[in-house]
Every structure is written in C-alpha cells, then in structure tokens.
C-alpha cells in the first residue's frame, strides 16, 4: 500500500477530529456517497416501511407512536452494516486507489455478503435479542464490517494458515476496548444530537418553504427514517476514518511514512 498517495493524509487523530474530518469527507464526496448510500439503503428503507406500516395505520397503535419508533430504530440498527457497505467500499477505493468503479463495488459487496450476513446480521441479531449485549459488537469489534469489506480475509482458515477475518479482527481490536467504549458512547451522543437537529430542522425548513406543516404520517413514514439513515450514513464515514486511525496506530503507518521520507533523503544525499 502506498501511504504517500492516499486521499486522506495518514496520521493519528483523536475522535473529535475524526468526526470533523468525516463531515468534510462527506461534503467532498457527497455525490458518489449519496449514490452508494441510496443503492445500499433504499431496499432496507422500503422493507422497513412495508414491515412497520401497520403500526401507523392501526388506530390503536397510532396512539403510541413510541412503539413504531422503537421498532424502526431496532431494524435500522441491525441493517446499518449491510446498508452502508457500498459507502464503505466506495471510501476504500477513493482513499487508496483514487479511482472507483461501481462494478467493482458491486462485485466486492457480493463477495463479502456471506461474512457480512453471518457476523453483522446473524451474530449481531442474536446479541440484540438480549438487549444488554447489543453494545458488545460496538466495543469489541466495531470495525468488523470494514475488515470484511476492505481486507477480504477468508471466512475459514485454510491449510496455508491464511489470516481469517476473526483472527484479524482480534488482532486489530485487542487491548483497546476501553477506548472503543468511549468512542461508542460519544458516537451515540453525537448521533442523537444530529438526528434531532436534522429531523427537527428539516420539518421547520419544509414548513417555511411550503407554508404547511408535514403531517404526522409523513413525519413518521419519511422524515424520521430519512434523518436516521442520514446519520447512519455519516457514521459509516466516521467508522471508516476511525478504522483507518486504529490501523495507523496499530501498524505504525505514519512512522513508516516518516522513515520512508528519511530514506529518500538519505538516498538523495548519497
């Protein structure tokens, strides 16, 4: 990997800086990210609408929209890794190869699908059922999606002892659970703030533009899920940058860069 030519400068960063940089990355690549986001998210958003629409049409449940919101949040939480995978794949290509093709993204998505389904849907789904254990993936293996999608390690170890995704994940996440817990809590707070701002702000902006308040049905069917997916999309970018940061620290990418430029200087002098 050539660290000199990466689109994002290789150096260690704190989590607040990562959150800030993700905003800029989001703004700089909004078109392809939006396309990748829509391609990944749209099927899940439609599925959620089909699954949960009964809550909104049934008069009795309409008395308690909290249930609808809770189920919608749980589904989005579970679907987020698969839905945002095309965004992660795009960011991987844009960062390291500085070129991208939708075809390659689709083929890589397809190839990663079995591992993604096993780790991020089946495993996380089981952990979510127990509720209190739902936090575990975010503390012990938060960057598993990025490993599966970008590193493409095999599911099972073969005779040549190649590094499996599980072992690679263990190597990457080992000894940093405390820090990852802090990052997860910070992400929840930032996510809640962003969601409230986007959902509340867009409702007011729509009112100012059209002169009408959006109906409650539109708010629950469209506005709230849209704000939720936007926040999850933003956090796909944050997670990608945080994953890079962890690898930079674990593998000393910036040390290697500094020594390589020193080697070039020595060669020049010689």
Partner 1 sequence: MNSPLPRLDSRIGISTPENIAFEYRVAGPWTRLPAYLVDLLIRIVAVIVVWLVGMIFFSFVDLAAIGWFLGLLAWFLAQWFYGGLFEAYRNGQTPGKQVFGLRVLRIDGRPVTPIQAILRNLLQMVDMMPMAIIPGFFFGEGDLYFPTFLAALVPMMLTQRHQRLGDLVCGTMVVVEERIPVARLDAVDQEGLAQLMELLPANFQPSRSLARSVSHYMARRRYFGPARRQEIARHVGEALAAKLGMPANINHDLLLSAVYARSFFGSTGELLNTTKKVKGDKGGGVGKREMELIK
Q: What residues make contact with partner 1 under the rule CB under 8 A?
A: 5, 7-9, 11, 13, 16-17, 19-21, 23-28, 32, 94, 98-100, 190, 196-201, 203-205, 208, 249-252, 255-256, 258-263, 265-267, 269-270
CA angle 234, 168, 245 (to 5 degrees): 40
**Shortest distance, position 127 Cβ to partner 1, whole Å:** 28
CB of 51 to partner 1, least distance (A): 26
CB of 84 to partner 1, least distance (A): 19
For partner 1, the closer of residues 113 and 205 by Cβ is 205
Which residue, 148 or 199, is less far from partner 1 as judged by CB? 199
When the beta carbons of 11 and 152 are compared against partner 1, the nearer one is 11
CA distance 223 to 159: 51
Cβ of residue 252: shortest distance to partner 1, in angstroms?
5
Specify whether the CB–CB gap between 242 and 15 falls below 8 A.
yes
Burial of 261 from C-beta contacts in 10 A (0-12 / 13-18 / 19+): exposed
Smallest gap, in angstroms, from Cβ of residue 13 to partner 1? Answer: 8
**CB of 28 or CB of 113, closer to partner 1:** 28
Q: Does residue 207 contact residue 214 with C-beta atoms inside 8 Å?
A: yes
Q: Residue 270: exposed, middle, or buried by beta-carbon count in 10 A (0-12, 13-18, 19+)? A: exposed
């Amino acid at each position: 990997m050539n660290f000199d030519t990466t689109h994002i400068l290789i150096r260690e960063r704190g989590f607040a800086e990562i959150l800030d940089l993700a905003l800029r990355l989001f703004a700089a690549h909004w078109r392809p990210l939006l396309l990748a986001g829509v391609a990944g998210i749209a099927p899940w958003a439609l599925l959620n609408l089909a699954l949960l629409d009964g809550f909104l049409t049934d008069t009795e449940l309409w008395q308690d929209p909290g249930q609808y919101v809770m189920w919608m949040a749980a589904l989005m939480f579970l679907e987020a890794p698969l839905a945002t995978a095309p965004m992660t794949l795009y960011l991987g290509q844009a960062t390291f190869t500085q070129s991208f093709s939708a075809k390659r993204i689709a083929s890589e998505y397809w190839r990663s699908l079995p591992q993604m389904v096993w780790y991020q849907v089946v495993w996380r789904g089981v952990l979510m059922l127990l509720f209190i254990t739902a936090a575990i993936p975010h503390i012990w293996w938060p960057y598993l999606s990025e490993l599966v999608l970008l590193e493409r390690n095999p599911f099972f170890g073969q005779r040549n002892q190649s590094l499996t995704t599980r072992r690679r994940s263990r190597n990457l996440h080992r000894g940093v659970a405390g820090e990852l817990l802090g990052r997860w809590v910070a992400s929840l707070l930032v996510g809640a703030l962003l969601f409230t701002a986007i959902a509340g702000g867009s409702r007011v902006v729509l009112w100012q533009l059209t002169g009408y308040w959006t109906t409650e049905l539109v708010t629950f069917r469209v506005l709230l899920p849209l704000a939720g997916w936007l926040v999850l999309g933003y956090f796909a970018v944050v997670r990608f940058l945080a994953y890079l940061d962890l690898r930079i620290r674990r593998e000393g990418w910036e040390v290697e860069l500094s020594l390589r430029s020193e080697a070039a200087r020595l060669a020049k002098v010689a």
